Amino acid sequence: MLGFIIKRSLLLIPVFFAASIVAFLLIHLVPGDPVDSLLTVGSPPEQRQILTERYGLDKPLVVQYGIWIWGVLQGDLGTAIIMRRPVADLMADALPHSIALGASAFIFYTVIGVSLGVTAAIFRDRWPDRAIMTGVLFGSTLPSFWLGLLLMLVFSVWLGWLPVSGARGASSLVLPVLTIGLGGTALVARITRVAMVETQRKDFVMLLHAKGMHPLRIQLLRVLHHALIPVVTILALRIGFVLGGAITVEVVFARPGIGTLLIRGIMQHDYPVVQACLLMLSTAVILGTFLGDVLQALMDPRARASLT
């Protein structure tokens, strides 16, 4: 097991560097550069050259990447060109908001999704199953920005129960969490149901029935235990998307966070900000995948053999 973890974590290194190259290149491919935003109309061409040199934008891309990644490895994310603050500070301001939203939504859809999936599987092909699966279909197809605006309309405008937008206090978290949570619930419920239904057909479950164990005990203790492997794996993968999955919702509810910071950075061509945000989001996904693989290997000995 330890061997698996070591081998698997060594694989993280090349993937991290590949992701950092993508994060760096993407924003440099966008036409225009940050100096455009800094210059006022009619400023002399020398001004442009001074600024370009000051931010090292005149050097070849490879050199720029080298300087950036060397800094990152030493914990220095650089300074935002347009926002004129250390990127680390900007991230430190934004991250708590994104984590609060992402983590609450994650807990919400894990708990509700697994419960719904288990209920649907226990009542397979009867009305509770059909009702839940219809709900799941709607939940997975609603576009998140529309769902967000819909919830805003009902709970903030018509009922006046919750704040429309912003990030003041826990009450402003409710609607964004619901918006992300409903889509996530659909996914988790569907996977849980499929895994449960597949396990129900296994020989050992039939044996338990034959031995006269109470059907509900079989479902909740044995079938669920066995079915949790794929569910936990998918949930671990989703952890990585907790930050990146909230971009649209952050914009709709005007919440400060990594998503809004990233979009602002893209619009202003603020290279260091965009690079740092992208690197952070992809690192989260890479670590989530790692966690998923390790958990799967812990729970399922067959998976350990796949990486040799």
Partner 1 sequence: MMRWIAPFRSAFGRPMGSVAGGWLVFLIAVAVLAPVLTPYDYDVQNLANAKMPPDAAHWMGTDEFGRDLLTRILYGARTSLTVSTVSIGLSLMAGLTLGAAAAYFGGWFDRVVTTVVDLTWSFPEILIALILVAIIGPGTTGTMVAIAVAYLAQFTRLTRAQILSLKSETYIEAARSLGASHKHLLFRHLIPNALAPVLVAAMLATGDAIILEATLGFFGLGAQPPTPSWGAMMSSGAAQLFSAPWIILLPGLALTLTVIAINLFGDALISALDIRTKLRDA
Q: Which residues bind partner 1 (CB under 8 A)?
A: 15, 18-19, 22, 26-27, 29-31, 137-138, 140-146, 149-150, 152-153, 157, 194, 240-241, 244-245, 247-248, 251-252, 262-263, 266, 278, 281-282, 285-286, 289
Pick 176 or 245: Cβ nearer partner 1: 245
Q: Quick one: DSSP state of residue 165?
A: S
Residue 253 phi, psi dihedral angles, 5° rounding: -95, 10
**How many residues make up the chain in this entry?**
308
Pick 16 or 123: Cβ nearer partner 1: 16
> What is the rounded radius of gyration, in angstroms, for the C-alpha atoms of the chain?
24
CB of 30 to partner 1, least distance (A): 5
Pick 96 or 143: Cβ nearer partner 1: 143
Say if CB 105 and CB 180 are below 8 A apart: yes
CA separation for the pair 94, 90 (Å, rounded): 6
Pick 110 or 144: Cβ nearer partner 1: 144
CB of 56 to partner 1, least distance (A): 22
CA separation for the pair 124, 127 (Å, rounded): 8
Residue 222 phi, psi dihedral angles, 5° rounding: -85, -50
Pick 192 or 282: Cβ nearer partner 1: 282
CB of 138 to partner 1, least distance (A): 7
CB of 110 to partner 1, least distance (A): 19
CA-closest candidate to residue 277, choices 256, 263, 291 = 263
* Neighbouring-strand partners of residue 86: 79
